[in-house]
């Protein structure tokens, strides 16, 4: 599933091509995504200018003059900029045609993503209860330590909770906990403030570095330009279960934690 760096990479990739452009038409070939695409989406957005292209958690928000298109890429979705009238492929479900001739094309083989419309994104059911963005000052060790005091859940699940902080998905939670030397099974309320300072630092550093190289391509992800991300080349633990730790050489452990694959080093993380 595309995580925060992949979604941010998509946002920055499509923005120069679509910002301040009017939508001429929305062509929907398949409405049955995770939630049904509204029948009236074409009418609501026609002749509306895209004023802002931003990201909130893993959602892309195209702010128009009278409302906002909410896009989630799900597990296999991608947005591509089409400038040469490329043929429509099997899983190209939506085209947003712009006045400059560019097409913003939504491709999603598994159809777990969504394209929705709202007049008030801040109060929309998908967005209203989200925690702070990890790359902002609102996400800091004081905040994370305070929120954790009554939470006995495993630290990995804690930092992956979108109500605590958004966008720290499975790949980057594994990597940040390894960098901070914290066992992913450790209860969130047992971790000291000093260790939270270290964890916050590495969450920010790893996410920022992943954005710089275009995210992580494990299966389906490509950015808005159709190119893959390269952060997977620097992964220390994710996807490396039962392989030697790059730091100490001991075999990495791998288990399911909250239904997600968790890899860590029992020697380096405690």
Confirm whether residue 151 is marked as ligand binding.
Answer: yes
Among 3, 6, 8, 175, which one carries the catalytic annotation?
3
Residue appearing with tokens 């920055």: 12
Indicate if 2 belongs to the active site. Answer: yes
Which among 167, 50, 25 has a CA at the least distance from the CA of 103?
25
Distance (Å, rounded) from C-alpha 135 to C-alpha 140?
9
Confirm whether residue 110 is marked as ligand binding.
Answer: yes
Which among 124, 104, 99 has a CA at the least distance from the CA of 49?
99
Among 11, 58, 80, 105, which one carries the catalytic annotation?
58
Q: DSSP labels for 190-230?
A: GS-HHHHHHHHHHHHHHHHHHHHTT-B-SSS---TTSPPPB
* CB proximity list for 112: less than 8 A, separation 6 or greater: 33, 34, 74, 75, 76, 77
With b meaning 16 or more CB within 10 Å and e meaning fewer, what string describes 186-204? bebeebeeebbebbbebbb
Distance (Å, rounded) from C-alpha 145 to C-alpha 147?
6
Rounded to the nearest 5°, which phi and psi values hold at 187?
-60, 140
Among 54, 204, 246, 260, which one carries the catalytic annotation?
260
**Tokens, residue 228:** 């893959």
Indicate if 133 belongs to the active site. Answer: no
Looking at the chain, how many residues does it have? Answer: 270
Whether residue 241 contacts residue 201, with contact meaning beta carbons closer than 8 Å, is answered with: no
The binding site comprises 91, 110, 151
Cite the active site residues: 2-3, 58, 260
The binding site for DNA comprises 91, 110, 151
């Amino acid at each position: 599933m595309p995580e925060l760096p992949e979604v941010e990479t998509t946002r920055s990739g499509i923005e120069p091509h679509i910002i301040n452009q009017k939508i001429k038409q929305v062509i929907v070939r398949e409405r049955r995504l995770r939630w049904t695409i509204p029948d009236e989406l074409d009418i609501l957005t026609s002749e509306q200018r895209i004023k802002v292209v931003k990201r909130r958690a893993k959602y892309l928000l195209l702010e128009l003059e009278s409302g906002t298109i909410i896009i989630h890429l799900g597990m296999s979705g991608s947005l591509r900029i089409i400038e040469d009238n490329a043929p429509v492929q099997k899983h190209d479900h939506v085209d947003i045609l712009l006045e400059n001739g560019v097409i913003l094309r939504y491709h999603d083989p598994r159809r777990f993503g969504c394209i929705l419309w709202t007049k008030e994104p801040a109060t929309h059911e998908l967005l209203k209860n989200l925690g702070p963005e990890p790359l902002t000052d609102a996400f800091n060790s004081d905040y994370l330590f305070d929120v954790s005091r009554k939470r006995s859940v495993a630290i990995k699940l804690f930092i992956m909770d979108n109500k605590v902080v958004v966008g720290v998905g499975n790949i980057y939670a594994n990597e940040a906990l390894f960098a901070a030397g914290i066992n992913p099974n450790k209860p969130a309320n047992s971790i000291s403030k000093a260790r939270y300072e270290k964890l916050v630092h590495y969450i920010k550093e790893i996410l920022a570095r992943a954005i710089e190289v275009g995210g992580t391509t494990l299966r389906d992800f490509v950015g808005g330009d159709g190119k893959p991300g390269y952060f997977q080349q620097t992964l220390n633990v994710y996807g490396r279960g039962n392989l030697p730790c790059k730091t100490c050489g001991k075999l990495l452990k791998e288990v399911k934690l909250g239904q997600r694959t968790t890899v860590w080093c029992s020697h380096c993380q405690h």
